């Protein structure tokens, strides 16, 4: 789920830190990982000290590896391949208006394949469990009504307690920290 975003004419550590502080006012960030590229705004002292204060764990892509964060890369592709994505934005205000609409669609309408075809908001707010249970019952009822149409068992709508990026890497980082 996109919990915060900003568009500026420039990027720097101070702006990134301010955004994280704003996000921290509405979202519990303690113990979460923030994965980013190796850009100076994300590695700047202001940003890193802000993350430490918010108890957010910074994680960075490996040098010269452009696809280390499949969640972010997937989001960027979804954004840029949107049929309404303009060739260019004439103003910062225009970019902000477009992005606000995209974030609303992404969080509240878009059924995300990586989280079982629920919206990011449904997952974030814990509504996905009930959706998976309802799907399971619907599939079982359909199979019971027409068993000849089913060559295999029902699709497993399995709820995952956590969805994480590179779980083995984070496990290693946690072990080193302990």
pLDDT at 173: 55
CA atoms of 139 and 157, how far apart (whole Å): 10
Q: Please determine, for residue 165, whether its predicted confidence score (pLDDT) is greater than 60.
A: no
pLDDT at 177: 62
pLDDT at 53: 95
User: Tokens for 41?
Assistant: 């705004």
pLDDT at 166: 58
pLDDT at 171: 59
Q: Count of alpha carbons within 13 Å of 59, Cβ hemisphere only?
A: 20
Look over the chain and give the mean of its residue pLDDT values, rounded to a whole number.
Answer: 86
Q: Span 17-27, mean pLDDT?
A: 95
pLDDT tens readout for residues 117-164: 999 999 999 999 999 999 999 999 999 999 999 888 888 787 888 776
CA atoms of 36 and 177, how far apart (whole Å): 20
Q: Span 105-128, mean pLDDT?
A: 92
Contact status, residue 165 vs residue 75, Cβ threshold 8 Å: no
With bands split at pLDDT 50, 70 and 90, how would you rate the model's confidence at 37?
Answer: confident
Q: What is the rounded end-to-end Cα distance, in angstroms, of the chain?
A: 29
CA atoms of 153 and 143, how far apart (whole Å): 8
Instruction: Provide the 8-state DSSP code for 56.
Output: P
pLDDT at 40: 86
Give residues with Cβ within 8 angstroms of 22, minimum separation 6: 4
pLDDT at 13: 93
Q: Please determine, for residue 170, whether its predicted confidence score (pLDDT) is greater than 60.
A: no
User: Tokens for 163?
Assistant: 């969805």
pLDDT tens readout for residues 64-101: 776 666 667 777 888 888 888 898 999 999 999 999 99
CA atoms of 62 and 36, how far apart (whole Å): 10
pLDDT at 159: 82
pLDDT at 138: 93
pLDDT at 172: 59
């Amino acid at each position: 789920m996109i919990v915060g975003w900003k568009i500026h004419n420039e990027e720097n550590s101070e702006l990134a830190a301010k955004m994280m502080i704003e996000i921290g006012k509405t979202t519990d960030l303690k113990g979460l990982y923030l994965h980013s590229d190796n850009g100076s705004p994300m590695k700047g002292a202001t940003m890193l000290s802000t993350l430490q204060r918010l108890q957010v764990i910074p994680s960075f892509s490996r040098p010269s590896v452009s696809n280390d964060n499949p969640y972010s890369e997937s989001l960027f592709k979804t954004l840029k391949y949107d049929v309404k994505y303009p060739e260019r934005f004439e103003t910062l205000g225009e970019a902000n208006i477009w992005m606000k609409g995209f974030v609303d669609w992404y969080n509240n309408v878009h059924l995300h394949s990586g989280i079982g075809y629920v919206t990011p908001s449904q997952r974030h707010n814990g509504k996905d469990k009930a959706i998976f249970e309802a799907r399971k019952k619907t599939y079982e009822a359909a199979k019971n009504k027409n068993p000849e149409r089913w060559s295999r068992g029902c699709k497993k709508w399995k709820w995952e307690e956590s969805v994480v990026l590179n779980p083995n890497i984070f496990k290693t980082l946690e072990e080193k920290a302990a």
